[in-house]
């Protein structure tokens, strides 16, 4: 069951694709649904993607494929392909991809070395939509150099997908004793959890499972030059 806004958005995208062959920009979707920000559009798209109504085409900033469309009365159906005039010898020109940007919460600085207190803030960080996949995301500014061998440098912005579970070898945000957060590789070591740095000058950190809560896993990085 889709929410009203999800239903409106999938129908708007499908109609635009049928008319022009190109998905609408985030700005156009925001205006069509009378939303206050593009981050609301991103959340709706992520929800539709998780429900397998749409999928994002890789390596393109503005490319959505509609997998099925709900009937205006409620039942889902496959989208009707856009009509193409084959009598014309001139190929249709498509608009160039838009560099859509969404805003995600920026929750302070996170240590890539010794754990520091996790900060919560209301600042929003603009992020290219193409860097984010399905799910809810937030950003943390990296402080420290313990993940440099993984290409994560001091001052980078870590883009984090919210999740409470992780597999061995994933880079996660770990909240330790409900007070401190750190960015590390996640490993299970017997009855313990080991948080590994990516810098040979740092040692692994070991904790009991009840001391560590997974707050998300790394989805991407932003770096300013």
- Tokens 């299970």 label which residue? 188
Asked if 100 contacts 62 with a C-beta cutoff of 8 angstroms, the reply is yes
- DSSP 3-state assignment of 27? helix
Asked if 45 contacts 54 with a C-beta cutoff of 8 angstroms, the reply is yes
How far is Cα 182 from Cα 147, in angstroms, rounded to an integer? Answer: 11
- DSSP 3-state assignment of 121? coil
Is 184 catalytic? The answer is: yes
**Which of these is catalytic: 23, 46, 146, 217?**
146
DSSP state of 81: P
Residue 63: name the closest of 104, 30, 31, 16 by CA.
16
The residues near 212 (Cβ < 8 Å, ≥ 6 apart) are: 174, 175, 176, 193, 195
**Which of these is catalytic: 96, 184, 203, 217?**
184
How far is Cα 143 from Cα 78, in angstroms, rounded to an integer? Answer: 47
Is 88 catalytic? The answer is: no
Residues designated catalytic: 146, 184
């Amino acid at each position: 069951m889709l929410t009203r806004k999800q239903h409106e958005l999938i129908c708007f995208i499908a109609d635009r694709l049928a008319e022009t062959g190109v998905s609408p920009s985030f700005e156009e979707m925001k205006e069509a649904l009378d939303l206050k920000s593009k981050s609301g559009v991103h959340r709706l798209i992520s929800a539709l993607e998780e429900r397998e109504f749409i999928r994002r085409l890789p390596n393109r900033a503005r490319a959505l494929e509609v997998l099925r469309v709900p009937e205006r009365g409620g039942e889902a159906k496959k989208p009707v392909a856009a009509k193409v005039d084959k009598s014309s010898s001139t190929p249709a020109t498509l608009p160039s991809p838009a560099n859509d940007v969404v805003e995600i919460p920026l929750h302070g600085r996170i240590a890539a070395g010794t754990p520091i207190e996790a900060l919560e803030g209301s600042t929003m960080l603009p992020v290219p939509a193409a860097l984010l996949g399905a799910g809810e995301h937030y950003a943390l500014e990296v402080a420290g150099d313990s993940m440099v061998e993984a290409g994560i440098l001091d001052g980078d912005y870590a883009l984090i997908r919210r999740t409470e579970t992780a597999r061995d070898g994933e880079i996660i945000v770990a909240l330790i004793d409900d007070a401190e957060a750190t960015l590390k590789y996640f490993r299970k070591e017997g009855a313990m959890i080991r948080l590994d740095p990516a810098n040979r000058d740092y040692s692994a950190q070991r904790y009991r499972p009840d001391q560590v809560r997974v707050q998300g896993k790394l989805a991407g990085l932003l770096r300013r030059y």
